[in-house]
Structure 1
């Protein structure tokens, strides 16, 4: 169906005059007549009848008119949805409870007029998430991606370091400590269910284990955050690790303790990945917000190696 003809029919029906429709559409009256004729031939019905006072829809035209308006409105909305600056900025935050999601939420609170959509590609590793950015599935993604794995066409800027904290129940041997050194965790069982083989967080925790002689495992099925909190609350030996900006909830009677890690402080280095030279207009505002509001990285912070630490990669 000819969209121009459809729009012309609606305009004639609303103005009641072929000439008025021609003026509104910036075409000739003859062009209006041709478009209406094309549409009527396509539908095999008469849509308009001319009178001494102008033109009005026939009975078929009256039935067709609201549907034609709906089609044109849908087309207008489709165009608006992909117009630069109009469609939502889609940001992969990996998990809605962790620091990147909280940072994007704070950005939204400070810019409520901006069109934003936080999504989670939790089943994708960093390389796959970078490909999703390149493919346009999302505009940006927070990932800990070593410099050697940043693909061509991706800009990666380290904008959010998440210091790790020990999470234990009230009966744990370290529950009363105000801070703990990573080396002091040697011999304690640290359980982080859901670590997926081949993911960037598996590489991070493997490096952390090797650096400080820790026992970190992901054994057993992951039944969700609530099950993890229940297990920690009931155990005198089990511990887990969370980011300082993560928002996990548990019942008050669990009395779980978050204990900062010091000397050094391991940090999970979230980088914001986006396409080089082809950015959503809101990305600059998000990047500026993260630069000015991100918490200061602790002195003596630890990351796996230098390949994880550049502020900018792949520009």
Structure 2
């Protein structure tokens, strides 16, 4: 159905005259008549009757069609607004609802409640980059860059947060009473991380961590999620795991879990924001400015990241 014809029909019905409607729409009366005639052919009914004294009045069919015509125009306006730059929500991939970057986006929302957000969680980095390039999302938080996988030239990035890793143990673990542990003290201890997936950027990160410091990280067994991981760590004195300092987790008081800072050096996970260089969404610039103003710098003294991580 021709929306311009529908808009013309509503204008005539409200104006009561073809000429008045033409003036309101800034077109000729002939164009109005042509549009109405075409709409009547499409619908197979007569929409107006013309009288010398009253001008143009909707027929019974015209009266029945009028509220639906108005709703068609409202739907069309909402459809256009949903994709108009600055009017649709800013779509951002945060990977995980419990991780550090989810906290960054919550902080952005508190600082800019007027900005509509659509938060999504994509697993693979290739999926995220493809979604950025296609416009399906506006930005994604990832590590930059995984070795052997440079980003396309049209993808921009900025490092926004270096998140320290902490050791998470149960109450009976040998290191449970430590106020902090050095990386060297972790050698020989079993660190269980069933969520590591080969080929992901976090998989590459932990591979380099193992190679650099001689740690033992096990990714065996199915990944039943964080609750099952916490249950196992709490009940198994021989196992510990790594946890981001800003990861938000809640566990039963009886678990007695310990979060212990790691030092000399402190391994940090590098979170970066990725976006398409031609993305015009004004809220994307607002997000970048917010992150620049509220997050700490990177490559601080006494920290470690893989050599392939660059600020770019």
Range of TM-score over shorter length: over 0.9
- State the partner residue of 2:129: 130
Distance 1:171 1:264 in 2: 25
- State the partner residue of 1:3: 3
| Root-mean-square deviation over aligned CA pairs | 1.6
Which 4+ residue blocks in structure 1 deviate beyond 3 angstroms?
295-298
- State the partner residue of 1:50: 50
Give structure 1 stretches of 5+ with no counterpart.
Answer: none
**1:50: how far off?**
2.2
SS at match of 1:65: helix
Structure 1, residues 134-153: CA drift from partner, whole Å, max 9, x if none?
Answer: 12121111111327612121
Distance 1:187 1:19 in 2: 88
Structure 1, residues 88-122: CA drift from partner, whole Å, max 9, x if none?
Answer: 11111111111111101100110000111111102
8 Å Cα contact 2:190-2:239 kept in structure 1: yes
Distance 1:286 1:68 in 2: 39
SS at match of 1:308: coil
**1:171: how far off?**
1.6
SS at match of 1:50: strand
SS at match of 2:181: coil
TM-score normalised by L of structure 1: 0.93
Distance 1:43 1:277 in 2: 43
Change over 3 Å in CA distance of 1:118–1:16 after alignment to 2: same
TM-score normalised by L of structure 2: 0.94
- State the partner residue of 1:300: 302
Give structure 2 stretches of 5+ with no counterpart.
Answer: none
- State the partner residue of 1:232: 233
Change over 3 Å in CA distance of 1:88–1:261 after alignment to 2: same
- State the partner residue of 1:22: 22
